[in-house]
Structure 1
Amino acid sequence: VHLKDLDVSRLPRNTKETVWLEVAQRADDSHWKLPFIYGSTVSPILLVIAAIHGDEYEGVEAIPRIFRKLIPEDLSGTLLMVPICNIPAYETATRNNIIDGKNLARVFPGNAHGTITEKIAYFLTEKLLKPADFLIDLHSGGIAASIPTLIGYIHSNDKRGKRALAGAEAFGSSVIWGHPLPVPPGRSLTVATDLGIPALYTEALGGGLAREEDVRCFTTGILNVMKHLNMIEGEPQLQPVTHHLFGDGDLDNVITAPVAGYFRTEVA
């Protein structure tokens, strides 16, 4: 199935399925394909995406666990999941797509006639994000960064912002991070916010690993949000919030060390 032909409103009801979605043609005439998982009844529509960066693995493991737990007859709504959005970067375990050098998390809403990264962003936006009622974008520190496990949201006092905050609190992470408007350009959350769709993102330790505690946090968090949205029965399994932070948290601009060496995590 080519992603451009996907119509979420026409997905079979009361079922769950995995399919491959064609995005663009490779040099060898085969196609770049994204794995796509869904369970469907009616609204609301929750979209969960992972591996926007090819070296972030926690969401890649969490999404199949959700799929295995999913009982379509018990689902009130539609759950759309893409466990690996950036297949070219995933194949090389890199943050960016080595074919065009672009960062998928910086090119949304994409371009139907652009490079492979821009095409992926375009079809994700047009075919999956725009029909959605809620978004969860699963990230982590990848290979290069070390980040506390957290759930993030875009803060505002309108209906979208309040729904995003409620979803973040329901997710159940001990660290919550709210970001002020405006959202920096190019993110999935940028497009979601512009469309009025509440959106969350995760971070986790990373390091090129998928720690079991982080995968469990993501898995439980997604199920918690589904309970919060009344998509499945039950109450969210929460843990005490130790930090509720607020700030832009732009990781694109970093302070580099002026000398060579290594960092020793000790406090005098």
Structure 2
Amino acid sequence: MKIGSIEAKKGSKAFGFFETGITHSRFSANIPMHVIEGSSDGPVLVVQAGLSGLEIEPALILPKVVQEIDANELSGTLILVPLMNTSGFEFEQINSVWDDKNLNELGRGLEAGTVSEQMVHKYYSEVISKADALLDIHSGSQWSYHRYAGVYNVGETTKSRSMAIDVGLSQVLINQPEDKSMAFEAAKDGKVVVSAWIGGGPGLRDYREQDMSRIRNAVMNSMKSLGMMKGSVEFEESATDVIEAHTIVMPTGERGFVFMDTDKRGSTVEVGDSLGQVRHPFEGHIIEDIKVTKKGVVLFAGASWPVLPEGTMLAIVGDLVEQIER
């Protein structure tokens, strides 16, 4: 397969920079990309990460995953982007430096748009459009910690759910909220799409090795799920909980130090149970007790740092619709 100037022949690997445009100073706007072309035909899987310049965990392990894969044992094509937002990474921020836009909120982009919109447009047109499946890897940046696989309620929902289960994490979220991402556009286009939310926040310090292993397994398991590699899927737990979200807990407007009860994650909560508190930053008293409004299971997802950017999701609660034991 050839993407821009990056070309991998049968049974080989290639790395390069996919050129998507230029900046006002005529610098190249590009995306680092690995292409692995298997020795036999098969599906095309795109693995992308680092749309936020602060979601760095995947870039710590994905190049090693590329090294681990034997192209001669692969059926189909793997296109892997370890860190898409290189300008945000350089300047330690979520958005692209070129135009202060969030790459995860630009849909398919615009051919005649800003630098980031052009980048997303060309990438979607020439990379995602060729894919049979997309594994969209995210972390919680500096403020949140996550550990689940999510699928949208559009497109190839059955196949996406199957691959999400095979990603190997202990929780799968169905009915993932619609958004403005490339992943959601790909789902609408009928691609098999899974969002793998792994790491972030204090996890980079406390669970780094475990999360690196989870990201590695997510890629390998996805290829096995699609029939691109031989071998058995590696699951983290003896059971996978499939959860349908019913409550996305967001800030109510009260501000201060936010402390979420992370011990509740993975457990069943009742109406009225406390999910966390907002405390006065100087006097220490409780300003708000964040309560459960509908019984359900708490996802391994949400805020893990007391001072949060505006609009940061605090928690997700949903109904357990299936428990797959093995």
Fold match by TM threshold 0.5 = yes
* SS at 1:124 equivalent: helix
Deviation at 1:6, TM superposition (A): 5.9
Q: What SS class does the counterpart of residue 259 from structure 2 fall into?
A: coil
Residue 265 of structure 1 and its aligned partner are, at CA, apart by 4.6
Query: 1:246: how far off?
Result: 1.4
Where does residue 317 of structure 2 map in the other structure? none
Opposite residue 141 of structure 2, the aligned amino acid is G
Aligned pairs for 1:135-146 (under 5 A) are 135-143=134-142, 145-146=143-144
Number of the residue aligned with 1:239:
236
**1:83 positional shift:** 0.9
User: Which residue is 1:65 aligned to?
Assistant: 64
In the alignment, is the contact (CA less than 8 A) between 2:61 and 2:216 conserved in 1? yes
Q: Give the CA deviation at 1:95.
A: 1.4
Partner residue, 1:220: 217
**Whole-angstrom CA distance in 2 between matches of 1:82 and 1:262:** 34
Question: Closer, same or farther in 2 for the Cα pair 1:76/1:264, shift >3 Å?
Answer: closer
Aligned partners of 2:262 and 2:190: how far apart in 1? 44
Alignment of 1:1-268 (within 5 A): 5=4, 11-41=8-38, 42-143=41-142, 145-155=143-153, 160-179=156-175, 184-207=178-201, 209=204, 211-240=208-237, 241=239, 243-247=241-245, 254-255=250-251, 258-261=254-257, 263=259, 265=261
- The whole-number CA distance in structure 1 between the counterparts of 2:77 and 2:247 is 31
How far apart in 2 are the matches of 1:89 and 1:105? 12
Counterpart secondary structure, 1:255: coil
Indicate the SS of the match to 1:125: helix
Percent pairwise identity: 23
Matched residues in 2 for 1:43 and 1:248: separation?
A: 37
Larger relative contact order (CA 8 Å, sep ≥ 6): 1
Is the CA contact (8 Å cut-off) linking 2:23 and 2:98 kept in structure 1? no
Look up the equivalent residue of 1:140 and give its one-letter code.
S
Rounded to whole Å, the distance in 2 between the matches of 1:40 and 1:266 is 42
- Indicate the larger mover: 78-87 or 29-38: 29-38
Deviation at 1:26, TM superposition (A): 3.0
Which deviates more from structure 2 when the two are superposed, residues 222-231 or residues 96-105?
Answer: 96-105
Unaligned runs of 5+ in 2: 264-273, 275-326
Larger displacement relative to structure 2 (198-207 or 183-192): 183-192
CA RMSD of aligned residues (A): 2.6
User: What secondary structure does 1:73 align onto?
Assistant: helix
| DSSP 3-state at the match of 2:199 | coil
1:142-177 alpha-carbon deviations (Å, 9 max, x no partner): 02x323311111246x7x111101101111001211
Structure (1 or 2) with the greater helix fraction: 1
Is the CA contact (8 Å cut-off) linking 2:146 and 2:200 kept in structure 1?
no
Letter in 1 for 2:168: G
Q: Is the 8 A contact 1:146 1:204 kept in 2?
A: no
Matched pairs, number: 257
Higher strand proportion: 2
1:238 positional shift: 1.2
Counterpart residue type for residue 36 of structure 1:
M
- Runs of at least 5 residues in structure 1 that lack an aligned partner in the other structure: none
Query: How does the TM-score come out when normalised to structure 1?
Result: 0.86
Q: Helix, strand or coil for the counterpart of 2:200?
A: coil
CA–CA separation in structure 1 for the residues paired with 2:45 and 2:69: 13
